[in-house]
Structure 1
Amino acid sequence: MKAATVLIPARNAEQTLAETLESLVRQTFRDFDVVLVDDASTDRTVDIARSFQARLNIRILSPDAHLGVAGAANFGLRVIESAYIARIDADDIAMPTRLEKQFAFLEANPDVDVLGTGMELFYGQPGNKVRTSIKPEDDASIKTALVQICSLSNGSAMFRNSFFRDIGTYDTRLAVAEDYDLWCRGALLGKRYANLPEPLTRYRQRGTVDVQKLQLERELDLLVKRKYLKALLGGESPHYLAEFFSLMTEFVSRDIAFRVVQQSTPLLFKLSRKVPNETMFGNIVVECLSRHLQQGRAQI
């Protein structure tokens, strides 16, 4: 059995999959195999995956129905027995030392359950700027940041297999927020996280904006936040705390924002005693206050 398995859900990925798999061929760490879940593709995705089987130990799974990214990932998780599971999407790229550095860190830090990396955000078209996304590094900061953001990048993560056995798999009802939900559930059950600050994964961004998808992302982002905040508050309703923290919420007027801040203040004091990094939490609250007490554009 290999030490690690790279899990790739793929649907109609013929334009990008070869580049993703080529990045795995170039890994300096070699003790891994690949499970690719073909999610009812209608293009050459499977043919491209098969063309790499001479250079990668790759197993192709084909469910009977279209499952979505979360469902396809869960389908692959059922068959993986390796101690470590690395996720990457079928349009992203792993830097050559990604698996080596993640494996070494997790071997040296047995208390860490999931390890993410920094992300280099790029567009497929030439000429577009490349940005770097670096998430909080330590467990306390990651869990505190979860009140506002998805503070680990799913496509960069390496998990201990035991993580999924203990907390369950992705919630397929939360498409586009299934990873955020996973981190929150794990945090509440005592799982420990870390992020490497180096951008070891390249994340492909799309040039077009899907308005419906953005609206779904906003709705599910708030849903996950409410669940996490309610749990941190011991079951007490978070009221508008999710909207207060969300980077996707802009209030229609300063007056509405002020009323939300007034209502949220007692809960913010309670929450400050529940998060593991109180200093970071204070900085997040100050940023939210500054942002919301300016004229907004979108009503909650």
Structure 2
Amino acid sequence: MISLICAGGKFLPSGAIDPGKIEIFTRQRANFSNVNVIEVEEDVPFIMEAARKARGEYLLFLLGPARFMEGFERIFSDAMERPYPVLVFSDHMEGGTPRRLYDYRGDITERFPMGYVLGVKKSVLLELGLRPEFKRAYLYDFRLRLEERGGKIIRLREPLYEVPLSGGSGGLLASFSYLNYPPELEREVEKAFKDMLKRRGAFLSGGIRKVIDGDGEVPISVIIPVRNRARFIGKALDSLMRQTFVDFEVVITDTGSTDGTKEIIAEYAEKDRRIRPIFVEGGTLAEALNLCVRYSRGRYVAQLDSDDEYTPDALEVAFGAMEKHPEAALGVSYYEVIDEEGGLIEELGVVRHLEFDRNNILRTEGAGALRIWRRSVLLKLGLFDERNFPDFGEDYDMVLKAVESHDLVRIHRVLYRYRKHGGSSDITTEEERKINLKTLARKAAMERRKLINRAGLIARGLPAS
């Protein structure tokens, strides 16, 4: 028998529900023989009480109303019958359309999409339990702890239930949903995440190193990698020409544009000697960034994407912040989102990333923009990873490396304008690939942090285990 626990509220499942094989636990009264009502308001006590009373060996958490397909109970049960703990999720239908999820590859964030139905053995749930201090992040915390017990997260590729169309947006900022969390939810998720880091030996609490700065022929080098951005590269360069801080150079690497971008760059470079173009045939984004850094002459290196813009005071404010904080490896500001014509998209608001700290950055999608680096730090860290992150995630990976041993200064001003358009890499890169690349960066960072902490214990004469 399978026991369905309606974890998300007062609702009932529908579809292929055989009362002889399935029992339901809910907080909504219903006149059905297979429905058990437990009138407990908070989720964790309700779920644990339902699990204790369940007759089924297998439990399904329902996180919303679902209509189940024929045979779902057999497929879920077979998947949960393993010699090790498992948490099982499946593809499903959404508003009549197949919703294909992704194989789980170790994503440690709370945002990995797992649908609306999760399966686990009753014995596993009763052994691990749900932590009562969590009101909403209890299943995220449970998943992290289950993995630490040698558990596996298993995706079933067959749609086993249907839910109404969610109306959720994809693409731009979809993975940044945490920016709109209520404060209490953010606190819970952060606690679950940081508790996990501490259990796994990857939580950083010290070890900030002094930055060894280098000299520069100019204060700032703005670096721009570009390919086929004829529509926007002029706007990016115009935003630089309007800067209140004028002592900078612009290093642009074009990796083989065929749409007139090279000609636009050459025209700007002829008018302003601060612009230093590099034209190469082919190359990845990470290779273009690294070429820019190697050719740059600035003490600081500021990143600007070829379809974005700076505010007029961006370099002045960023330079001042870095000068006031000689201990910082990089500075990061707020940004706003604009449309293709440069108009502010007000409903998206200002992106501040106030959740940032050197541990929480491992579960978020980034630290923000504008990013201004000490060139010496980029060189010390080996520049952007061309092998693992050729065209996506290279900047996130570099931020993770930098904050492991250095400070990051937050610049509490909007200095950057991120342009939303159909050709943006955040739109064109497949969601599964983005998740997997960020997961790769986080896994590597976790291992580095464990080594940092072990080295710190050894230095203090304590056992590294």
Give the structure-2-normalised TM-score: 0.47
- After the TM superposition, which residues 257-276 of structure 1 pair with which residues of structure 2 at under 5 Å, given as runs? none
1:32-59 Cα deviation digits (max 9, x unpaired): 0111101111121121112223145101
Q: Partner residue of 1:5?
A: 221
Which residue of the partner structure matches residue 335 of structure 2?
119
* Equivalent-residue separation in structure 2 for 1:90 and 1:74 (angstroms): 15
Residue 133 (str. 1) matches residue 339 (str. 2) = no
CA deviation after TM superposition for structure 1 residue 70, in Å: 1.2
Match of 1:14 in 2: 230
How far apart, CA to CA, are the structure 1 residues paired with 2:427 and 2:400?
26
Whether 1:225 and 2:439 are equivalent positions in the alignment is no
- AA aligned to 1:213 is E
1:98 touches 1:200 (CA, 8 Å); kept in 2?
yes
Q: Distance in 1 between matches of 2:278 and 2:417?
A: 25
1:242-298 alpha-carbon deviations (Å, 9 max, x no partner): xxxxxxxxxxxxxxxxxxxxxxxxxxxxxxxxxxxxxxxxxxxxxxxxxxxxxxxxx
- State the match for 2:316 in structure 1: 100
**Contact 1:135 1:195 survives alignment (8 Å):** no
Query: Cα offset for 1:7?
Result: 0.5
Aligned positions, number: 230
> Could you tell me the percent identity over the aligned residues?
25
Larger radius of gyration: 2
Aligned pair partner of 1:176 in 376, 392, 395: 392
Contact 1:136 1:151 survives alignment (8 Å)? no
Kept in 2, the 8 Å contact 1:156–1:201? The answer is yes
2:118 aligns to what? Answer: none
What is aligned with 1:269?
A: none
1:186 partner amino acid:
A
Structure richer in strand, relative to its length: 2
1:201 aligns with 2:419: no
- In structure 1, the partner of 2:266 is 50
Q: Is the 8 A contact 1:145 1:151 kept in 2?
A: no
Choose which of 152, 160, 177 in structure 1 pairs with 2:374: 160
Change (3 A) 1:197 1:89: same
Structure-2 separation of matches of 1:79 and 1:210: 30
Instruction: Give the AA of the match of 1:134.
Output: R
SS at match of 1:83: strand
Asked if the contact 2:330–2:372 (Cα under 8 Å) also holds between the matched residues in 1, the reply is yes
Q: Structure 2: how far apart are the matches of 1:136 and 1:207?
A: 27
* Runs of 4+ residues deviating >6 angstroms: none
Q: TM-score, normalised by structure 1?
A: 0.71
Distance 1:233 1:133, change over 3 A: same
Cα–Cα, structure 1 residues 211 and 60, in superposed 2: closer, same or farther, change >3 Å? closer
User: Does structure 2 retain, via aligned residues, the 8 Å contact 1:119–1:203?
Assistant: yes
Structure 1 unaligned spans of 5+: 237-300
1:7 and 1:88 in contact (8 A); partners too: yes
Q: What's the offset of the Cα at 1:213?
A: 2.0
Give, in angstroms, the shift of residue 16 of structure 1.
0.2
Matched letter for residue 104 of structure 1: G
Aligned residue for 1:3, secondary structure, equals strand
Structure 1 residues 94 and 212 mapped into 2: Cα distance closer, same or farther (>3 Å)?
closer
State whether residues 23 and 95 of structure 1, in contact with CA within 8 Å, keep that contact through their aligned partners in structure 2: yes
Letter in 1 for 2:250: V
For the aligned residue pairs, the C-alpha RMSD in angstroms reads 2.3
Q: Pairwise mapping of residues 33-72 of structure 1 onto structure 2 (< 5 A)?
A: 33-53=249-269, 54-55=271-272, 57-63=274-280, 65-72=281-288
Asked if 2 retains the 8 angstrom alpha-carbon contact of 1:123 and 1:207, the reply is no
In 2, Cα distance between equivalents of 1:12 and 1:59? 18
Does 2:359 correspond to 1:144?
yes
Specify which structure has the higher proportion of helix.
Answer: 1
Taking the aligned partners of 1:126 and 1:17, their CA distance within structure 2 comes to: 13
Deviation of 1:207 (Å): 4.1
Instruction: Tell me the equivalent position of 1:191.
Output: 406
Going from structure 1 to structure 2, the CA distance change for 1:93 and 1:56 (only over 3 Å counts) comes to farther
- C-alpha distance 126-41 of structure 1, shift in aligned 2 (>3 A): closer
In the alignment, what sits opposite 1:73? 289
In 2, distance between residues paired with 1:5 and 1:99? Answer: 10
1:191 deviates by 1.9
Q: Is the 8 Å Cα contact of residues 233 and 261 (structure 2) preserved in structure 1?
A: yes
Question: How big is the shift at 1:197?
Answer: 2.1
Contact in 1 for aligned 2:236/2:306 (Cα 8 Å): yes
Report which stretch shifted further, 173-182 or 209-218. 209-218
Query: Paired residue for 2:247?
Result: 31
Higher mean displacement: 91-100 or 74-83 = 74-83
CA-to-partner distance for each residue in 1:152-191, whole Å, 9 max, x for gaps?
Answer: 23x5111111111211111122131111111111223x12
Q: Which amino acid aligns with 2:413?
A: E
Distance 1:85 1:212, change over 3 A: closer
